[in-house]
Amino acid sequence: MGHINHKDLWEAVHLEMITGIELDMMSEPEFCKFCVKGKATRHFFPKESETEYTKYGEKVVADTWGPAQIESLGGAKYYYLNFDKYSHEEYIDFLCCKSDTFTHYKEYEAWVKIQCDAPIVIYGCDREGEFMSKEFSEYLK
C-alpha cells in the first residue's frame, strides 16, 4: 500500500479534515525507505553501444554453449563463438569439450592476423571457467 505524504497530512489536520491526530509540525518526518525506493528512477541502457569501433579486432566478444544432448558426427558437444564488434562477423568453432577453448582461440587469433591484418585489442568474455584457465589468462596478458 503506502501512506500519505507529510505535507498533505499536515494540511488535512490543519484544515480539520482529519481530527483526533496531534502533529508536531516542528519535528522532522521519519525516514521511510519505501518512499525512497518508490521515488527512485533508473536510467535505461541504450539499445546499441554508443562506442563505434573503427577496425577489425578492436573488440571481440566470445562465449561458449553446450553441452548439446546429441554429439555431432565429429564428436562435438559445444560451440565457441567469437563476435567482432566492428564488422559484426561471427566466427564459430565446434568443440568436443570446453577445455579446447584456448586452442581454438589461438586459431581464431591467427585467422584475424592473417585474414584481416589486425590484432585482437580487447577480448571480452563472461569469465566462465573455459576462459579463466591459467594458460589462457597468462597468454592474454
Place of cell 563472461: 126
User: All 3 cell numbers of residue 135?
Assistant: 594458460
Task: Report CA dihedral (53, 57, 60, 65) to the nearest 10 degrees.
Answer: 140
DSSP state for residue 58 in the 8-state scheme = S
Residue 1 is predicted with a pLDDT of: 53
pLDDT tens digits along 85-120:
999 999 999 999 999 999 999 999 999 999 999 999
In a domain, 91, yes or no: yes
Residue 31 reports pLDDT greater than 90: no
Whether 126 and 75 share a structural domain = yes
Whether 77 and 18 share a structural domain = no
In a domain, 49, yes or no: no
Residue 96 is predicted with a pLDDT of: 96
Residue 98 is predicted with a pLDDT of: 93
Residue 141 reports pLDDT greater than 70: yes
* pLDDT, average across residues 5-22: 81
Number of folded domains that form the chain: 2
Tell me the residue range of the domain where 95 lies: 59-140
Residue 70 is predicted with a pLDDT of: 95
Alpha-carbon 91 to chain mean position:
21
In a domain, 87, yes or no: yes
pLDDT tens digits along 43-92:
777 777 778 999 999 999 999 999 999 999 999 999 999 999 999 999 99
Whether 83 and 117 share a structural domain = yes
Whether 68 and 111 share a structural domain = yes
Q: For residue 124, what are the β-bridge partners?
A: 61
Strands 59-65, 122-124: pairing is parallel
Q: For residue 94, what are the β-bridge partners?
A: 79
The rounded distance, in Å, linking the Cα atoms of 98 and 76 is: 10
